[in-house]
Chains A and B, each alone.
Chain A
């Protein structure tokens, strides 16, 4: 959690705020020698808070995307570490690989014993490269699959944290049948008889995200995004241009609030002002509270009901006209 203590790096749209912050800092240094500047200081701080509130209440979809991709955003391991310092990691797909982009383990939250699975982006450069910037290989999906079956066998509820640009597009990924690895996860998760809760914590990128997202309840963090294709991919295909990313973000309706309105997800989890990277502890607590509550509700259902509930949920998705 090295980055939790560091100052958050301002994003492009946060620049006016950063400038004001610098002014406040400069003024603070002078304040010791010139007590008469107290009034200016208060005024400046007031202005800062006002700007902050108005800035974050009028975010464009592309701003949410920037926050979701913030390099200091808490990742799966940060959440697991914060929730349960004694969580135990489990490795390998038993078929020849272990993908660091998919983190799996046994985690206890609020007294609920869980099998937790999440995509991991990696923090330092080397770490990022090993995790393929959070894009799992088929081996990652098969590790998750193995543990979904394990959880089903022992009646352990399943928690998944989603933060991935998508499944890895590469030579070996295709040779090892990336598509089938994803399809099989969708297939298997549809049939498990334990409660499944999925939380989109950052980027929910297409099939690579959905592969661990077939859940009884789907939650999204306030600034997270979930889409059928990356906005860059969408812009390059539909607009044939790389500078239409903002338009693509808007057209696809990929923010938490819009997806909630479409009825695809069940809830939005609040983030600390400015995004989860401003306060890891608070973000982790908010997520924990939400999932503990959701699991408690789901645990009242019988195994068969849980499976029916999930299948009925996904059966309803779609919008069409019959005439």
Chain B
């Protein structure tokens, strides 16, 4: 390209640019993200292409539910269930703001109606029931809707004989629905018990961060539990524990690696390897179920499917 041509092109570019609004500060900032761990400045588009993992230090950023589904499912295979379900306000809850107002705010920020997306999909060619939580919506908290969607997903997996996969990311139960939120722990666990007794395979993936009511129910009930590197997972929050026992906690306390060391998860897996691992686990456990289910002992059907290792 000679100089003349370049100038001509520049002129053209200018003409195209006319009428475009300059970027706002907010938009400029959104172009870049700083890594929490190594402080590297990362171009958002590159980061997204790298599954929200820092290319320099492998720090795993939180991943939104929509991105996660796109990454895990075979292209175009995800069919959402119960997409229209949303929260009511059973307690008329009011703190500094009314609960419905807070819901609107959460939806505006996240672009979702609730903190979990559920549906049927294909993973590496295998059919699966998939639920993905999004911490970006109301801190991923579990209220009636999250509990109900997870329960229905479990029931769908049971009815259609599909493996169940749930990616958790949650601050715990949603306070604004009070005791009804607490009961979702039991509701989801009860559905998983039936699924388990029928021989269903359930793989739980825990990502940054998973705490409280979600860990104390379905996140910890998987036949397999896979954690993402660096994810913080636990029951009580670090600050609460420090205040209670008045003692300094180890730096890596409640990280995925710490959990692995203490025997609480099967493996810590990088995000890029997750999809293949899921496909492998599903393939490894398919085909045995009918055989085991029909084995009779003392006249009683042994309901020992693939998941008997979990309890």
Seen from chain A, the residues whose Cβ lies within 8 Å of a Cβ on chain B are 167-171, 173-180, 182-184, 186-188, 190-191, 206-207, 210-211, 213-214, 226-229, 233-234, 237-239, 247-248, 251-254, 259, 262, 264, 310-311, 314-315, 317-323
Contact = CB atoms under 8 A, between A and B. Distances in A.
B240 interface: yes
Contact of A171 (B82, B84, B218, B241): B241
27 contacts: A173-B235, A183-B189, A183-B219, A186-B185, A186-B216, A187-B190, A188-B311, A191-B193, A206-B173, A207-B182, A207-B185, A207-B212, A213-B186, A226-B179, A227-B178, A228-B181, A229-B173, A229-B175, A233-B240, A251-B178, A254-B179, A262-B179, A314-B186, A317-B183, A317-B186, A318-B180, A322-B82
Contacts of A191: 193, 197
Range class of the B interface residue count: 35 or more
Given A228-B177, A320-B86, 8 more contacts: A178-B235, A187-B189, A210-B182, A210-B185, A227-B179, A264-B183, A319-B90, A319-B180
A318 B178 contact: no
Contact of B241 (A174, A237, A315): A174
B185 to A, nearest CB: 6
Given A184-B311, A187-B192, A174 B235 contact: yes
Interface stretch (B9-17, B29-37, B91-99, B117-125): B91-99
B145 A320 contact: yes
B151 A251 contact: no
Q: Which 9 A-B pairs have the closest CB atoms?
A: A169-B236, A318-B144, A190-B190, A186-B189, A179-B215, A317-B183, A319-B90, A179-B235, A238-B95
Interface string B85-114: 111101101111000000000000000000
B216 A262 contact: no
B190 A311 contact: yes
B191 A179 contact: no
Contacts of B240: 169, 233
B234 interface: yes
Interface stretch (B39-47, B50-58, B243-251): B243-251
